[in-house]
Amino acid sequence: MESLEKLEGWLSNPENQISSVVDFDPSADRLYPFDFTAANLELTGRILADTSVFSLWVTKKLGDTHSRYGIGGYNEHRTIYSRSIHFDTLEEPRRLHLGVDIWGPAGTSVYNFFDAQVHSFKNNDHFGDYGATIILKYQLGDLTLYALYGHLSLKSLDGLEEGQFIAGGTLFASFGIPEENGNWPPHLHFQLMFDLQGKEGDYPGVCQFSNKAVYLANCPDPNLILKHTFKISAE
């Protein structure tokens, strides 16, 4: 809890200004709250089985609601991960989402919310995985925080070096197409971590429900950051 209190305290200081993660005009743009739990009966197995059909479904939802992006997912118990064996284990399948997804067109620009260094990056090239992934390291006062940006375009990895400085507000990545982002409809997986536990270019974005408390303690709600992008309240 100490790390979370430090993060909340740092963010509450008006001297610490953070940037938007994606372009968004709260006076004109809308967000659509996606529900990927079992309660969403519209999202059938037929849709999930085919990435192109799934992508069309997402695009239609955004178009029908005149939304610039879809959003949601933190601490959400999702049924959609049944589409990939990547989330299955012998003991218990992984279904609890640890980040926030921002759904929008491939090529959508991604910005760094504060001064950071490149911790690591990798193309996690498996069906259902992150695809192109970048992890940035932030020093917020005496708190070290990591942010994982997943499902990016492959060109987002070009020219990166570990330890490279990326200033806050810099456009440094973009949403990838399904062939590059782990075979998902285009979106950004945005996740915060206090401890990477020795991992590089990767960190679980979905956990077993039985491990919920451990992972949520290490992965605070990304809406603490995103509320500055979308001008919404983090709950």
How does pLDDT run across 184-205, given as a tens digit for each residue? 999 999 999 999 999 999 999 9
Residue 235 covered by a domain? no
Task: Name the residue among 100, 132, 96 with its Cα closest to residue 206.
Answer: 96
Query: What residues of the chain score a pLDDT lower than 50?
Result: 83-88, 233-235
Count of domains forming the chain: 1
Residue 161 covered by a domain? yes
pLDDT at 55: 92
The position carrying tokens 């490279």 is 164
pLDDT at 233: 46
pLDDT at 48: 79
pLDDT per position as a tens digit, 99-120: 999 999 999 999 999 999 999 9
pLDDT at 81: 54
Q: Which domain holds residue 183?
A: 2-230
Q: What is the pTM of this model?
A: 0.92
